[in-house]
Every structure is written in C-alpha cells, then in structure tokens.
Chains A and B, each alone.
Chain A
Amino acid sequence: NAGVTQTPKFRVLKTGQSMTLLCAQDMNHEYMYWYRQDPGMGLRLIHYSVGEGTTAKGEVPDGYNVSRLKKQNFLLGLESAAPSQTSVYFCASSLPPASYSNQPQHFGDGTRLSIL
C-alpha cells in the first residue's frame, strides 16, 4: 500500500518557468491538501480539495493553481515560478474526522523545489 506519493521528489526551476507537482493517493480519500514548508514557518496550507472536481484556497494560495480531475490525484501548478516559491511542498489526504481512526492526515514524503 503506497499511501500518498508525490512526484517529483526534487526539482530546480528557473524564474518564470512553469511546472506541475503530482500527488497520488491509493486510500480512496475524499480530502486532499497541498502545504508548503519554509524554514521557521511550519507547514502552511496552499489549496485543498474536498472531493473530485472541487478545490478551494488555503492560507497562502497566491501564485499556485490546483486541479482534482480524478479522486486519487491532486495537482499543484506553478504557472510562472518565482524565487519566493522555493520551498518543500507536502501533499496530504484524509477521510472526514468522524471516519478516521487515528491519522488525521496521511502525508507524502515532500517535494523540494528550488527556483533560481
């Protein structure tokens, strides 16, 4: 059981380039999330989705777009990368709290993205 898989694990971009980060989960979870982690800032929510075809903004959505065309996949896009978007990006998925036994969210292993 793979859980939550993020692709790629590392990437270096030049300012202005675009790219898409892929998150895939095999647990049939309805809810999916994208976070960014910066030194001294903890994890901050970028966007989230409560089901296939739905997305919503989190705390720091500017400069990012997301899509949830399939239940198992949640894509995070950077249309024009900026150095301020250099960060580690985490994807997570979950069931509604009434349904989960112990884990509030299952996390992927993160993607380290550097923008030069």
Chain B
Amino acid sequence: AQTVTQSQPEMSVQEAETVTLSCTYDTSENNYYLFWYKQPPSRQMILVIRQEAYKQQNATENRFSVNFQKAAKSFSLKISDSQLGDTAMYFCAFMKPGAGSYQLTFGKGTKLSVIP
C-alpha cells in the first residue's frame, strides 16, 4: 500500500514571500501521479498542481511549482509571492493508475497561514 507523509502540520509565511511545503511518499510503483490539493475554509477541494512520475520536468502553474525527486520519493510544493488567498489546508496525494479504482491516497495535510 502507498503512504503519503506531510511532516509539517502547520506553517506560516509573510505575504509576498515564498514558502515550501514538504511531501514524501512510499511506493514500489514506477508509474504514478502526484498532486497537491488546496482546501480553503470553504471546504472545497481545489487541484493546485499535478505531476506524472514519468516526466522529469517539474510541473509549474503560475505561482505554484513542485520539486519532484523520484529517487528520494519527495514531492514538495513551492508557493511564490504568497497571497492572503493562499491561506488553506494543503494536501499531497498519490495515485497509481492501472486496473482498479484510481483512488487517491492523501497525506494528513499542512495548514498554511499567510500573514499580512
């Protein structure tokens, strides 16, 4: 079974600064997907960024980027120019494609607070 570990239960960052959230995972698979989800106080689950394990290039979406280290099984999220609207819970998630449900395995989350 896959496991996803987020070692930082809470973090804070000053507005306009950069913050990095950590995620490690454990799997014996070679082909898989990794995701970061954002959950604001509204409770919505919002996809922030995705990474396919077969791609060496790190994914980037505007102010959000990842550092994917496949050998180290590490998938960190960097948020640049932090904004007040970035305040939320952030979940790292793993998916193994193939026969079956394509279910997501989530980490326990990191609560990020952006300070004005």
Q: Which of B24-60 contact A (CB under 8 A)?
A: 33, 35, 42-45, 47, 50
Shortest CB distance B34–A (Å): 10
- Closest A residue to B95 using CB positions: A104
10 closest residue pairs by CB, A with B: A107-B45, A42-B106, A97-B97, A42-B108, A43-B106, A48-B101, A110-B43, A42-B109, A45-B103, A97-B102
A96 x B102 contact (CB < 8 A): yes
What chain B residues lie within 8 Å of A44 (beta carbons)? 106
CA A50 to CA B103, docked complex, whole Å: 10
Shortest CB distance B25–A (Å): 13
Is A77 part of the contact surface with B, judged by Cβ < 8 Å?
A: no
B33 x A31 contact (CB < 8 A): no
* Residues of A that sit less than 8 Å from B by CB: 31, 33, 40-45, 48, 50, 56, 58, 88, 90, 92, 94, 96-98, 102-105, 107, 109-110
- Extra pairs beyond A42-B4, A45-B104, A97-B33 (20, CB < 8 Å): A33-B103, A33-B104, A40-B109, A42-B109, A43-B45, A43-B91, A43-B104, A43-B106, A45-B105, A48-B101, A56-B101, A58-B103, A92-B45, A96-B102, A104-B33, A104-B50, A104-B102, A105-B104, A107-B45, A110-B43
Beyond A98-B97, A104-B33, A104-B50, whether A31 also contacts B102 by CB under 8 A is yes
Q: How many B residues have CB within 8 A of the partner chain?
A: 24
Q: How many A-B residue pairs have CB under 8 A?
A: 59
* Residues of B that sit less than 8 Å from A by CB: 4, 9, 33, 35, 42-45, 47, 50, 91, 93, 95, 97, 100-109
Beyond A97-B97, A98-B97, A110-B43, whether A104 also contacts B104 by CB under 8 A is yes
Partner of B44, one of A40, A45, A96, A109: A109
What chain A residues lie within 8 Å of B95 (beta carbons)? 97, 104
What chain A residues lie within 8 Å of B106 (beta carbons)? 42-44
What chain B residues lie within 8 Å of A48 (beta carbons)? 101, 103
Of residues A56, A96, A97, which shows the largest number of chain B Cβ atoms within 10 Å of its Cβ? A97
